Chains A and B, each alone.
Chain A
């Protein structure tokens, strides 16, 4: 029985197919899922999903939190935002990042910036994942 993976977001199903292994950013640390993995449900944090498909190609995705559900060689990644490494426009993200940092500097004394800091972490992650295949 092969290992099947689906990555599901509100807008579309980003990935659906058989894979050799998947590495996901769990809340308690990154972990790899291979065939016959024990049933597990885990929270995901901002980070990177690494897939090795049946032809030994490695694909990277950025993920913005969510959940992973593994049951009987069927993996579901459920997340709000998942982007494939090559489709990220990292130049745009870097511009956004500098703008956000500027905004935090101005607001840090009077406002709550935790939401903005969250965005910064997301942008950092996007750029990191984009660099896997670009440049």
Chain B
């Protein structure tokens, strides 16, 4: 049986670990709240851009824009959103697995001799894929510290540029979708070329009946809406991924704290047992000693 001192040392170690996991959980909870707040504040803008875009898009049957062009696929770019730090459960490893499956089972069979390169946002993703010799075009570390749209816009411009200049023919994004605080889902989404499912004509849509004035004209408005639409779509992923990361970490740390609690319960039980055993042993020795003395008398 372990000695008393040994058990006490382990109890202390677990207690301090528990303090750390508890603190990390609190930090994540606060960050999660902020992340959810950002999503909420972004939502009106996003839905206005989406609505306006789809409404105009429906009114121009043969609309074309460079960001819509399909080309023969020779180079594919993956935008990979992972976290900078670990201790967030399977948040990152789910992404890794999904990407490897996606490249090997889907892309390589669908397109022959396709070259795949990555843009890694987050240290974990960069470390993982760099070690495995994937082609990494760009890496962004500590990107999530400033998730304002002005900061993300630069990255969005780079991706757009790569597509427009023909450097890549298809762009996918891989990220964790925020479903709830305790659940995230890996999503692989085609970013470019933009694919839009035309809505089935809705007869109840009153706006369709009214004649709108367009200044300067429908096409020009749509031309300036397309980049915004793309921006909204991409920016939303960053917000979702960040919220998911905080959610995942919060859950992981909560589990760790619970596990520590359980361990402490078991350890303090054996600590008390060991202590009681020591006391009993001492008592036995005294009693035995006393009775031995009696016999001598």
**Contact status of A42 and B221, CB under 8 A, knowing A26-B215, A69-B52:** yes
Contact indicator B213/A10 (Cβ below 8 Å): no
Counting CB contacts under 8 A, is B211 at the interface? yes
Considering the chains assembled together, what is the distance between the CA atoms of A76 and B47 in angstroms? 12
User: Please, which residues of chain A bring their CB within 8 A of the CB of B49?
Assistant: 78
Q: A41-B52, A41-B221 are in contact. Are A8 and B45 (CB under 8 A)?
A: yes
- Residue in B42, B52, B211 whose beta carbon sits within 8 Å of that of A78 in the complex: B52
Q: Does A38 have its Cβ within 8 Å of any Cβ on chain B?
A: yes
Contacts between chains A and B (CB distance < 8 A), count = 64
Chain A contact residues: over half helix, strand or loop, or mixed?
A: strand
Cα–Cα distance between A134 and B248 once the two chains are bound (Å): 47
Q: List chain B residues, Cβ under 8 A from A39.
A: 207, 210-213
- Among B74-126, those with CB < 8 Å from A are none
Q: Is the interface of B mostly helix, strand, loop or mixed?
A: helix
On whether the beta carbons of A71 and B210 are closer than 8 Å, the reply is yes
Contact A67 B45 (CB under 8 A): no
| Least CB separation from A16: chain B residue | B44
Residue in contact with B48 in the complex, picked from A8, A38, A65, CB distance below 8 Å: A8
A78 touching B45 by the CB < 8 A rule? Answer: yes
In the bound complex, do residue B216 and residue A27 qualify as a contact, i.e. CB atoms below 8 Å apart?
A: yes
Q: Which 4 A-B pairs have the closest CB atoms?
A: A42-B215, A40-B213, A39-B212, A10-B149
- Additional A-B contacts beyond A8-B44, A65-B224, A67-B221 (11; CB < 8 A): A10-B149, A11-B41, A11-B148, A11-B149, A26-B215, A27-B215, A40-B212, A41-B213, A43-B216, A43-B221, A69-B52
